[in-house]
Homo-oligomer: A and B are copies of this chain.
């Protein structure tokens, strides 16, 4: 796994050493030594490389938000989350590929698709844990969405118990009480709110 295009050694940054300590198809652990503007002599660090991903806020014609209920093995729990998925290509992540991934995950996980004339609004990206990984997710708002004749199509590795539309008040209450607790969905809500989309 290589540097993502968006992560580059800007002036003052230089990768001095980079050893792959573990790798499988899902993640790589690298032990690096990196010179930084504040640490020109270099700093040793453990870095987890992960694929980039997309997450989508589907808003229905009634103004409700569609979440999926997904089993998350690392935390041994079902979570309500916005649909999301990794960008599964070694090709450069062009804006077109990123948008295609977002629209595919929307349809496959929720069974909804962008309505004719609907818009897929980019809401930037975020890093899930920049102290340890380059994992990042591109965020979008899709509105309005309508039920797709294609239905859902889950990856073999996923376990999604279903999708449901929630009113903005229900959604906000689920964030306030902690029921919504994954970074993708919380970050989507942050950007939706700051951009005035909700």
Contact = CB atoms under 8 A, between A and B. Distances in A.
A65 to B, nearest CB: 13
A93 interface: no
Contact of A159 (B10, B43, B48, B183): B43
Q: Looking at chain A, what size class is its interface with the partner chain? A: 35 or more
Interface stretch (A56-64, A104-112, A174-182): A174-182
A172 interface: yes
A36 B79 CA distance: 13
B71 A38 contact: yes
Contact of A72 (B72, B73, B124, B130): B130
B187 A7 contact: no
Interface in A72-97: 72-79
Contacts of A32: 73
Interface stretch (A113-121, A145-153, A190-198): A190-198
A194 B190 CA distance: 10
As for how many copies of this chain the complex holds, the number is: 2
B183 A74 contact: no
A131 to B, nearest CB: 6
Contacts of A124: 177-178, 181
Interface in A1-45: 7-10, 13, 21-22, 24, 26-27, 29, 31-32, 34, 36-39, 43, 45
A79 B130 contact: yes
Contact of A161 (B9, B38, B129): B38
Contact of A194 (B38, B45, B176): B176
A8 B183 contact: no
A178 B138 CA distance: 11
